[in-house]
Amino acid sequence: MNRMRLLSPTAILGYGFPVESFQEGMSHRPDVIGVDAGSTDPGPYYLGQGKPFVDERAVMRDLALLIPAAKTAGIPLIIGTAGGSGARPHVEVCLSQVERVAWRLGLRLEVAVIHADVPAAEVRRALEANRITPLSFVPELTPATVEQCGHIVAQMGMEPIMAALSAGPDLVLAGRCYDPAVFAGPAVLHGFDPGLSLHLGKILECAAIAAAPGSGRDCVLGTLEPGCFSVTTLSDNRRFTVQSVAAHTMYEKSHPYLLPGPGGILDLSMVHFTQLDERSVQVQGSEFRAGRATVKIEGAQRVGYRTFSLCGIRDRTMLGMLEEVFATLRAAVADNFGPEDYLLTFRVYGRDGVMGPLEPQPQVQGHEVGLVIDVVAPSQEQAAAVCGFVRSTALHLGYPGRISTAGNLAFPFSPSDVDAGPVYEFAVYHIMEIDDPLALFPITFLTLGEGYTPATAGDAR
């Protein structure tokens, strides 16, 4: 194969895409449809709870378009980090959605399922053998921490996807996955350069986010050829430019041109970008330098339960002494509840609510702020009690210069306090050395939708 076309419909499965641009993409006869379905961006809660972060109806809408299009074209559909976080519960949810679409549309699907769960015992053995290192700002891993994580996943590289595709399935459903591997796997399997394939995958996994104007819910096409690849928008409303593609190349990376991943480093120091036409950019010079076999492992542990209250403050005198007010509130909580194990945080939007201690101008500039009273405690009841106490105390708190007797806070909602449930943090966010890039990722082959017809299945959307 001298040319390979890869279609990316959306940045994350369920984010949606215009039917028109998808049909335009299919008219180019792609060899693969790939879509990333997850991320750590929404935080550790979804991995810890084993729940998806994209609504089921939104995912079903996308699948109902992608699956029959891929089946009709006779090309594989590859889904990476299924269900949002890629652990077994997430993969099972996504598999169920695929199965329902197949049944309702009367399609028989051969599906390869790749799980990415890592047993705690495997992590402990690697820890004992000094084969695990933390990423930046992550504490050292301990056996106790490993046991407290309900789900631990590893980011698979290209090899498991290539192995699954070798069996010729209609659909590959992968657990936690290195984002570019969804596109790089099939490309390398067909003999294309790993460096170019991974760099193209880096662009395609975010769909049209790398275009101008960027969007996570629009389709783009990537084309691999010997010595280069190109990316093309599929909507008249967007275009790829040298600047937009180069900028996205450095997106979410700690180094401008060295991008580490499973099994090596993508070296982009010699990359050259060329504007081919109004909507397309060509890329050359991407190089993959193979190294030791490693995977990134992720695990979330529960650290408590959250209750928060959202309110506003408009009194200029109070705005000028917020830190004194917060200190008074903290002292009142300690006096009322004693040495209970809770975390009280005040988030001031309009001052430093976004950046916290990193904010370079931590002063109130406007006439009002939004305040989030955030409490995390060992139980939901404790969190609710502390949050309610802080809210009511702050509402009636006296302070120098105050000209009213109540009403320090304005509440947009009733009830004012929200029980947000369990709180998680990433306790496992480390690099683990492995001997075999396939060993941690078992592949199961299934046949779905057998025996159903369009007449009995109904509309999958």
DSSP readout, 369-384? EEEEEEEEESSHHHHH
At which residue do the structure tokens 């998680």 appear? Answer: 424
Give the closest residue to 313 by CA, choosing from 397, 234, 200.
397
pLDDT tens string 314-350: 999 999 999 999 999 999 999 999 877 899 999 999 9
Which band of pLDDT confidence, cut at 50, 70 and 90, is reported for residue 454? very low
Q: Which amino acid is at 237?
A: N
CA 205, CA 37: separation in Å to the nearest integer?
A: 9
Q: List, for residues 185-211, the tens digit of each pLDDT value.
A: 999 999 999 999 999 999 999 999 999
Mean pLDDT, rounded, for 2-18:
97
Collapse the DSSP code of 311 into the 3-class scheme (helix H, G, I; strand E, B; otherwise coil) and give the result. strand
Q: How far is CA 200 from the centre of its chain?
A: 19
The neighbour count for residue 39, using CB atoms within 10 Å, is 18
- pLDDT-derived band of residue 461, with 50, 70 and 90 as boundaries? very low
| pLDDT score recorded for residue 231 | 98
Residue 451: its pLDDT value, please? 53
- Asked if residues 36 and 436 have their Cβ atoms less than 8 Å apart, the reply is no
The 3-state DSSP class for residue 96 equals helix
Q: What is the pLDDT of residue 450?
A: 67
Q: Could you give the C-alpha distances from 266 to 8, 37, 133, 143, in angstroms and in order?
A: 21, 23, 20, 32
Q: Return the percentage of the chain with pLDDT > 90, whole number.
A: 90
- Report pLDDT for 440: 96
Answer yes or no: is pLDDT of 258 > 50. Answer: yes
Q: Smallest Cα–Cα separation from 215: which of 246, 238, 199, 245?
A: 238
What are 141-168's pLDDT values in tens digits?
A: 999 999 999 999 999 999 999 999 999 9
Mean pLDDT of 385-393: 97
pLDDT at 455 over 60: no
Distance CA 323, CA 446 (A): 60
Average pLDDT over residues 406-418: 94
- Say if strands 149-154 and 4-8 run parallel, antiparallel, or are unpaired: unpaired
Q: How confident is residue 435, by pLDDT bands cut at 50, 70 and 90?
A: very high
Question: What pLDDT shows up at residue 139?
Answer: 81
Kindly state the average pLDDT of the residues 92-110.
Answer: 96
The label of the residue with tokens 């041109």 reads: 257
- One-letter amino acid at 392 equals S
Residue pair 63/12 in contact (Cβ under 8 Å)? The answer is no
Give the C-alpha distances (Å, rounded to integers) separating 457 from 65, 182, 214, 448: 15, 30, 37, 13
* Residues in CB range of 253: below 8 A, 6 or more apart: 259
CA–CA dist 163, 195 (Å, integer): 19
How high is the pLDDT of residue 407?
86
* Arithmetic mean of pLDDT over the chain: 94
Q: Is the pLDDT of residue 441 over 50?
A: yes
CB 81 within 8 A of CB 334: no
CA 391, CA 388: separation in Å to the nearest integer?
5
Amino acid code (one letter) for 345: T
Highest averaged pLDDT of the listed ranges 156-160, 251-255, 402-406, 449-453: 156-160
End-to-end CA distance of the chain: 36
- The rounded distance, in Å, linking the Cα atoms of 310 and 222 is 44
Domains, the chain: 4-116+155-293+434-457 (no CATH), 301-426 (3.30.70)
* In the predicted structure, residue 452 carries a pLDDT above the cut 50: no
Q: What is the DSSP annotation of 33-79?
A: EEEE---STT-SHHHHHT--SS-HHHHHHHHHHHHHHHHHHT--EEE
